[in-house]
Chain A
Amino acid sequence: MESIDWSLINWSRAQFALTAMYHWIFVPLTLGITFIIAFMESIYVKTQDPKWKEITKFWMGVFGVNFAIGVATGIILEFEFGTNWSNYSWFVGDIFGAPLAIEGIMAFFMESTFIAIMFFGWNKVSQKVHLLSTWLVAIGSNLSALWILVANGWMQNPIGMHFNPDTMRNEMDNFWEVLLNPVAANKFVHTLVSSYIVAAVFVAGISAWYLLKNKNVILAKRSIIIASVFGLAASLATFLTGDESARVVAKYQPMKLAAMEGLYDGQQSAPLIALGLFGERDPQQPNKENFALEIEIPNALSYLAFLDPDAFVPGIRDLVHGNKKQNIPSYEERIALGKKSIDGLAAYKKAKKAGDEVAAAKNLKIFEDNFEHFGYGYYFGKDPHLLVPNVKMSFYSFHTMVILGTHFLILFILLVYFMYKNKLPKMRWLLWIAVWTIPLAYVATEAGWVVAEVGRQPWVIQDLMPNLVAVSKIDTYSVQITFFLFLVVFTILLIADIKIILHKIKKGNKH
C-alpha cells in the first residue's frame, strides 16, 4: 500500500464536500416549504378565500427558483459515487445502490410529475387534484430525503449485510435491517425536522421584513403564523431527536462523539463543554487539542451519551491507545487484527484458486474472525492518529449547530407568544431578529452535516472502508479541474438564485 495518493483522496473529498454542501443550501428549504405551501393551499381550498391562493402562489414562485437549483446541484451527487468513489461503489454497491434506485423510482418521479401540475395545472385540473398534487410534491421530496438518509445512515452503521469472499464485496442479506437502521431512523427524523426549521425561518423572516416595511401585510401576517407554529413544532422535534442522536453516536461512533466534544482523555462523569475555544497545542502531546477557554456543565456529557451521569465516556486517547480498564481495544490492536483479516482473505482467494481447500478454509476463518476490524487493516504501518477526525472542525460545527438551534427555539417561542397576544407587528426588534436569523438557519444546517461527515472520517463505511480505499483511480488534476468547474458553476448559479429570490421578495405578491 505504498502508492496511496493522498492528494487524490483529499481532492476527491473536497469535491464531494463542495458539491454536497452546495446541494444542501437548497434542500432544507424545499423539504419544509413544500409542506408550508401545502398547508396554505389546503386553507385556500377549504375557505375559498382568493387571498390564500395568492399567498400560496407567491411562496410557490419562490420555491420554484430554489427547486431548480436544488435539482441542478443534486444530480451530480448520485453520480459522484461512481465517478469519484468507484471502489466504494463496487465494495458496497450491492447495498448502497438500492436506496438510490428506490429514491429515483419512488420519490423523484412523484416530485417531478406533480410539480408540473402544481405550477401549470391551476386551470387544467380540479382544485382537489391540484391540492393533492401540491401535497404529493411535499411528500415526494421528503421521501427522497428518506432514501438518501437511509443510504447515509447505513454508511455510519453498516448492518443487514455480510461480506461475500467469492465476489469480494459486501452483500445485502436483510433489506428491513438496512431500512430500519437505528442510525438512519434517527438521522432521517433529525434531518427532516431541522430542515423544516430552515423553511420556517425563511418564511417567517421574509414575512417579518414585510411587516417592518408595511408591505404585503396580509400575506406577511398569515404566512408568519403558519411559519412560526410550524417552526416551533420543528424546533422542539429537532431538540428531541438531537438528544437521541447523541446516544446513537455514542453507541456506534464513539470517536465522532469524542471529536464533537474535544474530549481527549476519557472520563467518568464527563462534563459537557457548553462553550469552548481551542488554544495552543502542547508540544509534549502533539495529538491533543487544548482548550484555551471552556464553560462546562458537570456530568452532562455522560448523561447525554448514556443517560447515566456517572457513565464513562471514552476520549480520543482511549480509542487510539486503548483502555484496558474500560475494555476498549486500541487502534494499534485493531489495525493488526484488520491486517490479519485482509491477509486472510487474500490467502483464501489464492488457496481457492490453487484448489487447496484446507488452506482456503483456514484462511477464511482468519478473515471472518477478524472481519469487524477489516477496515483498520488498511492503516497497517501507519500512524493510528490518521484515524482521528478533525477535532476542531467537529467541535466548532457541533457547537454552532446546538447554539443556533437554541436560538431558533427561543425565536419561535417569542413569535408565537406575541402573535397570540396580538402584539407582533409592534415588536420591531423581534421582527428584525427574525429577518437576520435567515442566514443563521443555513449556517446551522450546514454545520450539522459537517459534524456528521467530518466527525466520521476517515470512514466511508464505519470500520469497514476508509476513504483511502474508496476512491476512483483517476489523476488528481482531473479532480482538481472538475472541483473548480463545480465551484465556478455553482457559485454563479447561487448568485443568480439569490438575486432572483431577492427580486421576488421585493416585488411581493403584486403582479
Chain B
Amino acid sequence: MFEQLSYLQLQQYWWAIISLLGALLVFLLFVQGGQTLIYSIGKTDDERKIIINILGRKWEFTFTTLVTFGGAFFASFPLFYSTSFGGAYWVWMAILFAFIIQAVSYEYRTKVGNFLGAKTYEIFLYINGLLGSILLGTAVSTFFTGSQFSVNKMNIVDFENTGSSIISAWQTPFHGLEALWTLENLAFLQNITLGLAVFFLARTLALQYFIKSIDHQELVNRSKQKLKINAAIFLVFFLFWFIRLLLLKGFAVNPETKEVFLETNKYLHNYLEMPVVLILLLIGLIGVLWGLYRSLFASSENGIWFTGIGTVLTVLTLFFVAGYNNTAFYPSTFNLQDSLTIENASSSKFTLIAMSYVSLMVPFVLAYIVYAWRKMDASKISQEEVNADGHAY
C-alpha cells in the first residue's frame, strides 16, 4: 500500500512521524521539568520520595522516546543524522551525558552502597532536567535559525582534490555550542529563548501532572502555587520566540530548481498556506491556555490533559512549518545551498517504504503504552503506597 505513494509523499509521511515523535518528546519532558522541582515542592524526605517515585515510573517513556526519535531520524533522514550529530558534537554530547546520568539516578538513589550518596543522584536528576530540556529546545530552535555547516558528497571519491573524504563539516570550532552566542540575526536570542521556554514548559507540565496524580494535599497546594509563576514565564518566553519566528526570514526552497533562499515571514507564510496546520496550531494553543486556566483558576485536576495535548499539537505544527511547504528544515547559514530539506536528506524510496510498514506498529505500541499508563495511574500515588512498595526509589 505504501508503494502507491510518491517519493515526496513518503518523505512527507516520515517527516510527520519525526514530528510526532518530537512533539511527544517535548510533552514527556515533564519528567525533566519535575526533576528540577523535587526540592522546591518536596520539603521533607517523605515528600521528595513521593515526587521522585511518581516521576520514576515515567522517566523511561521520555528516554525511550528520545532514543526512538534518534533512531527514526537516522533511518528516514540519514543526512541530518550525519551532519547534525557529527557536526554539533558538543551539543549532542552534552544532551547525551545529561541523559546518561539520569538513567541510573532513580534506581540508585536510595540503594545501600550506592557509592555517591542520595544527594548526588538528586543533583544528577536536576542536571538532566535543566540541561536536557534547555539544550533540546536550543537544538530544535536551530531548525529555524540555521547552523554553520557544509555538505559535499563528492568528498567520498574526490578526496584528493577536496582534502577530505568526509562529506559533512561543521564550520565553527565550537561544534554546535555557538548556537548560544551566534549574533547573526540575533540567532542566539531565539535559540536560548526556545531552550528556556521548553524548560519552563516542562516544569509547568510537571506541576500539572503532580496536581493530577499525587494524593497529598500539601504537595498539591505547593504545585498549584508554583504553577502560576512557571506558566507565566513559559508563556513569556514562548510567545516572544513564536512571534519572532513568524517575523523571521525563513529558509525557503524553490520547488523547481531546489535552490534555497531566504524569504521574509516564511514561517508565517507556511502557516497561512497550510490551513490545516494553522488550525492544529490554534487548537494546540487554545488547549495549552485552557489547560492552564483549568489548573490555575478552576481548581481542576485535569489541566494536564489539555495542556499536554495542546503541547503535542503546537510542537507538531512547529515541525511541520520547519519541513513542509518547500522549507529547509536544517538550514546552513554557511552555505544556503547545503541546507537540508526533507527531499535531499531522506533515505531512498525503498527504505522509506519498508520503514513505513514498520510504522504500522506505532498505533499498536501506543495502545499498550496507554493501557499500561492507565493501569499504573488508575489511582493517585500516596505516601502509604510509596512506603509499602518494595521496589520504591
A residues at B contact (CB < 8 Å) = 1-3, 57, 60-61, 64-65, 67-69, 71-73, 75-76, 78-79, 81-91, 93-98, 100-106, 108-117, 119-121, 124-125, 129, 164, 167-169, 171-173, 175, 342-343, 345-346, 349, 378, 468-469, 471-475, 478, 482, 485, 489, 492-493, 495-497, 499-500, 502-504, 507, 511
- Shortest CB distance A145–B (Å): 15
Q: Is the beta-carbon distance between A346 and B89 smaller than 8 angstroms?
A: no
- Shortest CB distance A410–B (Å): 33
Chain A residues, CB < 8 A from B86: 82-87, 89, 472-474
Q: Is the beta-carbon distance between A65 and B351 smaller than 8 angstroms?
A: no
- Shortest CB distance B248–A (Å): 27
A475 to B172, CA, bound (A): 11
Q: Is the beta-carbon distance between B347 and A112 smaller than 8 angstroms?
A: no
| Residue B170, interface by CB 8 Å | yes
Chain A residues, CB < 8 A from B116: 492, 496
Q: Is the beta-carbon distance between B68 and A108 smaller than 8 angstroms?
A: yes
Chain B residues, CB < 8 A from A345: 157
Report the interface size for chain B: residues with CB under 8 A from the other chain.
Answer: 81
Question: Which residues of chain B from 107 to 142 have any CB-CB distance to chain A below 8 Å in the complex?
Answer: 107-108, 111-116
| Residue B276, interface by CB 8 Å | no
Q: Is the beta-carbon distance between B93 and A69 smaller than 8 angstroms?
A: no
Q: Is the beta-carbon distance between A349 and B154 smaller than 8 angstroms?
A: yes
**Residue in chain B with minimal CB distance to A374:** B157
Q: Is the beta-carbon distance between B175 and A101 smaller than 8 angstroms?
A: no
Find A90's partner among B168, B350, B354 (CB 8 Å cutoff): B168
**Residue in chain A with minimal CB distance to B370:** A113
19 more contacts with CB within 8 A, not counting A175-B354, A489-B97, are A57-B390, A60-B391, A75-B63, A76-B100, A86-B85, A86-B86, A110-B365, A112-B64, A113-B369, A116-B60, A120-B376, A121-B375, A164-B348, A168-B156, A169-B153, A171-B350, A492-B116, A500-B111, A503-B111
Q: Is the beta-carbon distance between A83 and B93 smaller than 8 angstroms?
A: yes
| Residue B297, interface by CB 8 Å | no
The 5 closest A-B pairs by CB, nearest first: A86-B86, A93-B78, A82-B85, A104-B68, A97-B75
Q: Is the beta-carbon distance between B74 and A93 smaller than 8 angstroms?
A: yes
A72/B103 contact (C-beta < 8 A), A90-B82, A93-B347, A471-B166 known: yes
Q: Would you give 19 A-B contacts (Cβ < 8 Å), ordered by A?
A: A69-B103, A79-B92, A86-B86, A88-B82, A89-B74, A90-B83, A91-B156, A93-B347, A97-B71, A97-B76, A104-B71, A113-B372, A125-B375, A168-B167, A349-B154, A349-B158, A499-B115, A500-B113, A503-B112
Chain A residues, CB < 8 A from B37: none
A65 to B109, CA, bound (A): 11
Chain B residues, CB < 8 A from A164: 348
Q: Is the beta-carbon distance between A105 and B376 smaller than 8 angstroms?
A: no
Question: Which residues of chain B from 343 to 375 have any CB-CB distance to chain A below 8 Å in the complex?
Answer: 347-348, 350-351, 354-355, 358-359, 361-362, 365, 368-369, 372, 375
Find B72's partner among A105, A116, A169 (CB 8 Å cutoff): A105
| Residue B233, interface by CB 8 Å | no
Find A492's partner among B72, B113, B115, B389 (CB 8 Å cutoff): B115
- Shortest CB distance A13–B (Å): 15
Q: Is the beta-carbon distance between B72 and A76 smaller than 8 angstroms?
A: no
**Residue in chain A with minimal CB distance to B378:** A124
Question: Which residues of chain B from 168 to 200 have any CB-CB distance to chain A below 8 Å in the complex?
Answer: 168-170, 173, 175
Find A342's partner among B101, B157, B372 (CB 8 Å cutoff): B157
A355 to B35, CA, bound (A): 59
Main secondary structure of the interface of B (DSSP, over half): helix
Q: Is the beta-carbon distance between A114 and B351 smaller than 8 angstroms?
A: no
Q: Is the beta-carbon distance between A98 and B75 smaller than 8 angstroms?
A: yes
A105/B361 contact (C-beta < 8 A), A82-B92, A492-B116 known: yes
Chain B residues, CB < 8 A from A87: 82, 86, 156, 165-168
Find A500's partner among B93, B114, B153 (CB 8 Å cutoff): B114
A83/B108 contact (C-beta < 8 A), A105-B362, A109-B369, A474-B175 known: no
A102/B389 contact (C-beta < 8 A), A1-B160, A109-B369 known: no
| Residue B272, interface by CB 8 Å | no
B residues at A contact (CB < 8 Å) = 57, 60-61, 63-64, 66-68, 70-72, 74-76, 78-79, 81-87, 89-90, 92-93, 96-97, 99-104, 106-108, 111-116, 153-154, 156-160, 163-170, 173, 175, 347-348, 350-351, 354-355, 358-359, 361-362, 365, 368-369, 372, 375-376, 378, 389-391
Q: Is the beta-carbon distance between B92 and A86 smaller than 8 angstroms?
A: no
Chain B residues, CB < 8 A from A103: 71
**Residue in chain B with minimal CB distance to A72:** B103
Find A97's partner among B68, B81, B165 (CB 8 Å cutoff): B81
Among B106, B157, B361, residue most surrounded by chain A Cβ atoms (within 10 Å): B157
Chain B residues, CB < 8 A from A71: 60, 63, 103
A87 to B170, CA, bound (A): 13
- Shortest CB distance A286–B (Å): 29
Find A94's partner among B101, B351, B362, B376 (CB 8 Å cutoff): B351
Chain A residues, CB < 8 A from B111: 65, 500, 503-504
Q: Is the beta-carbon distance between A94 and B78 smaller than 8 angstroms?
A: yes
Q: Is the beta-carbon distance between A478 and B90 smaller than 8 angstroms?
A: yes
Q: Is the beta-carbon distance between A124 and B375 smaller than 8 angstroms?
A: yes
A169 to B350, CA, bound (A): 14
A423 to B358, CA, bound (A): 52
A473/B170 contact (C-beta < 8 A), A71-B63, A100-B75, A175-B354 known: yes
Among B164, B361, B378, residue most surrounded by chain A Cβ atoms (within 10 Å): B164
**Residue in chain B with minimal CB distance to A471:** B166
A102 to B83, CA, bound (A): 22
Q: Is the beta-carbon distance between A108 and B64 smaller than 8 angstroms?
A: yes
Chain B residues, CB < 8 A from A97: 71, 74-76, 78, 81, 347, 351
Q: Is the beta-carbon distance between B358 and A102 smaller than 8 angstroms?
A: yes
Q: Is the beta-carbon distance between A475 and B173 smaller than 8 angstroms?
A: yes
Chain B residues, CB < 8 A from A83: 85-86, 89, 92-93
A495 to B115, CA, bound (A): 7
A471 to B169, CA, bound (A): 11
Q: Is the beta-carbon distance between B369 and A78 smaller than 8 angstroms?
A: no
A485 to B94, CA, bound (A): 11
A493 to B103, CA, bound (A): 11
Chain B residues, CB < 8 A from A69: 103-104
**Residue in chain A with minimal CB distance to B151:** A90
Find B106's partner among A68, A108, A113, A117 (CB 8 Å cutoff): A68
Chain B residues, CB < 8 A from A67: 107
